[in-house]
């Protein structure tokens, strides 16, 4: 787990990266990698958020989200001025967006592991892109070919991490596809 000092240092690095890019207004999705030599900027997508729906996790973990903050910036200067400029030191709960991976491609016969998924205490949303029989399942080779996503949220971070490990372990056999046109990794 990251200490509050490490989290503060990463946030400061993010602000400095945005300053170096002269980005002053609007949303920004920043990816920073922690290395033994300190934080390193991986990418900065300014003018947009990341491509996944993070609103639920942000609302529950942080108490606010970028969508509502952006609307407040345009509609009500006083409301916007009252919004936090940094995440809280302690999150309200633990949350994680999991990008689903498919190791097969073909026509969906069924999504597997329903019983095991139902046992995950933190799983609040499970959205595979292929869910109905006959849907096209694509082999995951990059983020654009991901197989869907899941939201893990719980008051105990250890539960989220355990469920994450379980979900990752199930992904290699998550989709059963028809035997015609099956490609596997």
The string of DSSP codes covering 120-174 is: -TTEEEEEES--STT-EEPPPSSGGG--EEEEEEES-HHHHHHHHHHHHHHGGGS
pLDDT of residue 94: 94
Question: 110-138 in b/e burial notation, b at 16+ Cβ within 10 A?
Answer: ebebeeebeebebbeebebbbeeeeeebb
Would you give per-residue pLDDT tens digits along the chain (185 residues)? 677 788 888 889 999 999 999 988 777 888 999 889 989 999 988 877 767 788 999 999 988 888 888 888 889 888 888 888 887 778 899 999 999 999 999 999 999 999 999 999 999 999 999 999 999 999 999 988 999 999 999 999 999 999 999 999 999 999 999 965 545 55
- pTM for the whole thing? 0.80
pLDDT of residue 45: 86
Tokens of 173: 């056999």
Count, residues in the chain? 185
Strand partners, 98: 150
**How many C-beta neighbours within 10 Å does residue 58 have?**
19
């Amino acid at each position: 787990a990251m200490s509050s000092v490490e989290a503060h240092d990463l946030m400061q690095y993010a602000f400095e990266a945005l300053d170096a890019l002269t980005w002053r207004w609007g949303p920004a999705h920043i990816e920073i990698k922690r290395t033994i030599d300190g934080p390193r900027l991986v990418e900065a997508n300014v003018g947009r958020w990341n491509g996944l729906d993070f609103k639920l996790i942000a609302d529950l973990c942080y108490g606010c989200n970028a969508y509502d903050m952006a609307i407040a910036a345009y509609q009500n200067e006083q409301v916007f001025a009252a919004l936090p400029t940094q995440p809280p030191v302690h999150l309200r709960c633990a949350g994680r967006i999991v990008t689903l991976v498919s190791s097969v491609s073909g026509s969906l016969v069924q999504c597997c592991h329903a019983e095991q998924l139902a046992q995950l205490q933190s799983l609040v949303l499970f959205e595979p892109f292929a869910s109905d029989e006959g849907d096209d399942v694509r082999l995951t080779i990059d983020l654009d070919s991901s197989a869907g996503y899941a939201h893990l949220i719980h008051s105990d971070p250890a539960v989220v991490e355990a469920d994450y490990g379980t979900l990752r372990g199930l992904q290699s056999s998550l989709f059963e596809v028809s035997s015609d046109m099956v490609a596997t990794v």
